[in-house]
Structure 1
Amino acid sequence: MALDPSQIPVHAATFEQPLIILANRLRAEGPARVVAIGSSTTAGEGGIAPYPQRPLAELRNRFRGPFPKATIDVINRGVGGEEAPAELRRFDHDVFDLNPDLVIWQVGTNSVWQPADQNPPSFRETTQALNDGVDLLLARRIDVILMDLQYVPALLTPAKIDKALAMVDAISQIAHTKGVSVFRRFELMKAWHDVAEISFDRMVDPGDDTRLHASDWTTEKMAAQLAGAIVDAVNRAPPPSGGVPSS
């Protein structure tokens, strides 16, 4: 039996920043566009429907009242196995050509998890690409949400945990410095496990022997929490001082 989200005594942290660009586009009656870029969490893994397609119905439903004429779409630009440097190289085609109002950038896992023989980018290369990418997004007046790592057994081993914690902290620090928000997935999933006592057997894809990828249950609950945080951040956005921009 599925667990009702209201029965879970843990919720995602409120975004630090309002989503001003997205809010203004919705106020101007759209069309609003969200681009999700990242690796396997974004692209989808093991036949589990990826997270970006899941919050769309919820966002459309929640925005229908305050913005009855606006439309919103979520476009998935995930590629499994990639990390920030490779994703940054795709920005021109997979982000900027789509003219998004909001970009959700899921980042950090592969530089921690991938074994050395796969030549993963270093911590410095990943954080530098993240810094550069956020700067490019902000320069084009695009709202940004960074999504940090998943809390799963593959990242909690003695060989990985310190690297995982350092990456989570680095993402948080970059977001704070740049004035953008973080969807704190690591913290959320850890609280599900520690506080709500949800087992890893439920949180991790049962078909994934690496114990890295999230289950359908986790992906669904994460998407619902993400949608709620986006709605809250749009509702907190102040109106433009010069009035609502034209679409």
Structure 2
Amino acid sequence: MEYLLELATSPAAWIALATLVVMEVVLGIDNLIFISILTNKLPEHQRPKARRLGIGMALIMRLGLLSTVAYIVQLTAPVFEMFGQAFSWKDMILIAGGLFLVWKATTEIHHSVDVKTEEEKTLASTVTLSMSAAIAQILMLDLVFSIDSIITAVGMTEHLPIMIIAVVSAVVVMMVAADPLAKFINDNPTVVMLALGFLIMIGMTLIAEGFGAHVPKGYVYAAMTFSALIEGLNMMARRAKRRKAAEQVTQH
């Protein structure tokens, strides 16, 4: 109890908590984009349930990993060496997760640009993914992002209560943002392509990190923000054109 009171009255602890909450929310964006795109392939009545299940299991997984922080930290220890490069369990998990993300995003892009009738596309999107398959894929990526998230948390603070509050806060934000983000992505086909491009970039970043090449996250998120702003301007321009065309039709 004294330990918790000491933390509650420590300005350094509050600064660490605020910084870690922001970091965890930012890291959660990657996971949320993947969950939104994946669940949008399910029948509409199953989507909210799948999102809640996916994000809920992400919370359980992260809290479970936090209870084994000492073991998680050991994942960064080298396991074997190849061509002069040492690989840890964390590296291998990041490489596997990155490859999966690149494969999944590339497959989704292929389906998006494949020349099919709307009826065939609708049929394919409803039969190629079941609820259990969606949850299994979400869980796989949850594991990759959770380990990355926990190792980031351990690197920023040694206080377990701060880590738990930050992780829970980030997952609550994900839970609140999941449905609006998924609806926005589903209603705007060009945003889907942009989001898939983000997933490929995130996947390549995970692979690079796994091979020991540090990629500053700030650069990745700056590129994502810039691309999103450009897409926002494109959407505004398209709306303006549609309004103008509608006005011209009304005048005639």
Normalising by structure 1, report the TM-score: 0.29
Higher strand share: 1
Higher helix share: 2
Does 1 or 2 have the higher relative contact order (CA < 8 Å, sep 6+)?
A: 2
